[in-house]
Structure 1
Amino acid sequence: MGPVALAIHGGCGVMAKLDLSEEEWAAARVDLRRSLEAGWAILSAGGSALDAVQVAVIVMEDSPHFNAGYGAALNAAGYHELDASIMDGQTQTGGAVAGSRHIRNPIRAARLVMERGEAVLLAGHAADDYAKAGGLEVVPNSHFTTERRVKALAAMKEHEKQGTAAKASESEKHGTVGAVALDAAGHLAAATSTGGYNNKPEGRVGDSPIIGAGTYARDGVCAVSGTGKGEFFILHAVGHEVASRVAYLGESLEQASSKIIIDEFQPRSIGAGLVAVDAKGNIAAPYNTDGMFRGWVTPEGKFFVGTHDQVFAL
């Protein structure tokens, strides 16, 4: 049996350090650790990478500290539209939902779509109906609302009114959660979930539910989950691009992911980040914004979490 590894992100463009109290930052780090522990419990027991990334994302979907599930961003009309996807590197299959309004854990619905194999992506009310018919929990749209997101929407509305939307902080705009994993059998998987960005147009779909953009996994190569300005992840097929650079150019995981996030996106002011793991258990977590909620467990079982430039060993 080979090495196992796990990495997660809770979105790049996290708030400026002074926007939250140290208690709130600490609470977010606790939930990052809980996410890692959930995924690692599966991997360390010989379970699948697919199961590990799903449970890791579920923990963050249920946390108010991240932009996915409970605590997700509000669109321009003041309600939530949730996106998620998951990909199995072994079978090269994936599933996704977009524009869901009522699925408590959209990543569960993405897994259901993948396993049934009738489609790769389901959208809108059809995704909600599909999840409900499949026995998944559905909730009122208000379930996902938190005071922080209400304030963020109001802030973005004011920026829009004043013509200063471009100057809004990353925390006022977007965020995502995701996980990547390598299991003992050598299989890779990736999962991503998001509420999109605050004040987004109704019906907007970003990169998180797009296989090859915000989520990608290929056995023997790497698994990737992205966060940031989703339109650019779609246009540049970022997940697939990272894997292609590793597979075809022979770049290391760090080289391939940094080439896009740092070398290509940062000079163009495209806020972005990602987490990735390769077939040997190497982990990369580059970002070009003020910070990125992130964490990982090395093949040796060492836990780390970070928000800004400081990384905490747990």
Structure 2
Amino acid sequence: MTKFALAIHGGCGVMAKLDLSEAEWNAARRDLGRALEAGYAVLERGGRAIDAVQAAVVVMEDSPHFNAGHGAALNENGIHELDASIMDGETLAAGAICGARHIRNPIIGARAVLEHGDAVLLAGPAADRFAESKGLAVEEQAYFTTEKRKRALAAMKAHAAAGTAFAASEAEKHGTVGAVALDQHGHLAAATSTGGYNNKPEGRVGDSPIIGAGTYARDGVCAISGTGKGEFFIRHVVGHEIAARMAYLGEDVETASAKVIMEDLKIHNIGAGLVAVGADGSVAAPYNTDGMFRGWVTDAGEFRVASHAEVMSYP
């Protein structure tokens, strides 16, 4: 059995290889590696899984290359509405925020909700006020905006006007970041953060802050973080579905994850992916799109990152 393991994703909305320069691809992969290093540092010293997933997600929220925090998607009105959740598999404690507009690191906001204990999910302005009351960093909207997201919003509006939204690339539509971990004490945790999809309706909430859908962790079974068209992750309760298949059918994490992503969600013709770690430290990262930013590391200290089919060592 693996003593500990960490897996991350930066969204399944990965662009065609020719859409970015090699330097830009390398920068995105480098930030994936930095996220792995942050989580690994926690696990290697005997820290908690929940602290490891938070540390990994914060790095990706701070990166402009992923759709969470700085670099998040813009809704139909050109506004960032941020969603995140985190779950402790040991206690099933969870915290989430949705529709926040000013929390610099939404995953830290979600963790504060978990630690406060009175609620699982806080929404909109109340989430922002809660974060500020807890002394968390808040930012003006401009902090979250990048030129890439402005272009993606314009592209989606053009698709909508032409009636071709169905033909938009996964990169134009959405993206998410997430992390799952098993620590040396046998505990599991999961965390997910997103800006949603480009040109989404104001007030829309996807699966990322929904416990059991985009995020789920249960000791002795697995931890899951998903990415893709959130409405279908909610309808299929994807995180809990995978855990249930493992607990009740005895499937391993790779089999259960592949069944849901490659079969259950495939009929809807949507992009979907996830990372998962089992109680034995095994890792799965299925996706049904051209690519998914992803990476993983175990107690052997071998770091792996990927964007498309090829998996590379890091650094």
| TM category, shorter | over 0.9
- Tell me which residue corresponds to 2:169: 169
Residues 174, 196 of structure 2: 8 Å contact kept: yes
Q: Distance in 1 between matches of 2:181 and 2:151?
A: 34
Q: Distance in 2 between matches of 1:105 and 1:52?
A: 15
- Tell me which residue corresponds to 1:31: 31
Identity %: 71
Q: How many pairs were matched up?
A: 314
- Tell me which residue corresponds to 1:186: 186
- Tell me which residue corresponds to 1:123: 123
Q: Shift in Å at residue 13 of structure 1?
A: 2.1
Q: Shift in Å at residue 31 of structure 1?
A: 0.1
- Tell me which residue corresponds to 1:222: 222
- Tell me which residue corresponds to 1:237: 237
Aligned pairs for 1:63-142 (under 5 A) are 63-142=63-142
Q: Distance in 2 between matches of 1:74 and 1:215?
A: 22
Residue deviations 1:172-216, cap 9 Å, x none?
A: 000000000000000000000000000000000000000000000
Q: Distance in 1 between matches of 2:70 and 2:179?
A: 17
- Tell me which residue corresponds to 2:16: 16
Q: Distance in 2 between matches of 1:86 and 1:284?
A: 19
- Tell me which residue corresponds to 1:3: 3
- Tell me which residue corresponds to 2:308: 308
Residues 2, 186 of structure 1: 8 Å contact kept: no
Instruction: Indicate the SS of the match to 2:233.
Output: helix
Q: Shift in Å at residue 270 of structure 1?
A: 1.9
- Specify the code of the residue in structure 2 equivalent to 1:222: C
Instruction: Indicate the SS of the match to 2:276.
Output: strand
- Tell me which residue corresponds to 2:252: 252
Q: Distance in 1 between matches of 2:263 and 2:211?
A: 23
Q: Shift in Å at residue 70 of structure 1?
A: 0.2
Residues 2, 299 of structure 2: 8 Å contact kept: no
Q: Shift in Å at residue 301 of structure 1?
A: 1.7
Q: Distance in 2 between matches of 1:108 and 1:77?
A: 26
- Tell me which residue corresponds to 1:150: 150
Instruction: Indicate the SS of the match to 1:231.
Output: helix
Residue deviations 1:219-260, cap 9 Å, x none?
A: 000000000000000000000000010111000100000001
- Specify the code of the residue in structure 2 equivalent to 1:182: L
Aligned pairs for 1:46-61 (under 5 A) are 46-61=46-61
- Specify the code of the residue in structure 2 equivalent to 1:73: A
Q: Distance in 2 between matches of 1:299 and 1:230?
A: 32
Q: Shift in Å at residue 298 of structure 1?
A: 2.3
Residues 86, 192 of structure 1: 8 Å contact kept: yes
CA RMSD of aligned residues (A): 0.9
Residue deviations 1:247-288, cap 9 Å, x none?
A: 110001000000010122224312100000011100000000
- Specify the code of the residue in structure 2 equivalent to 1:29: R
Gaps of 5+ in 2: none
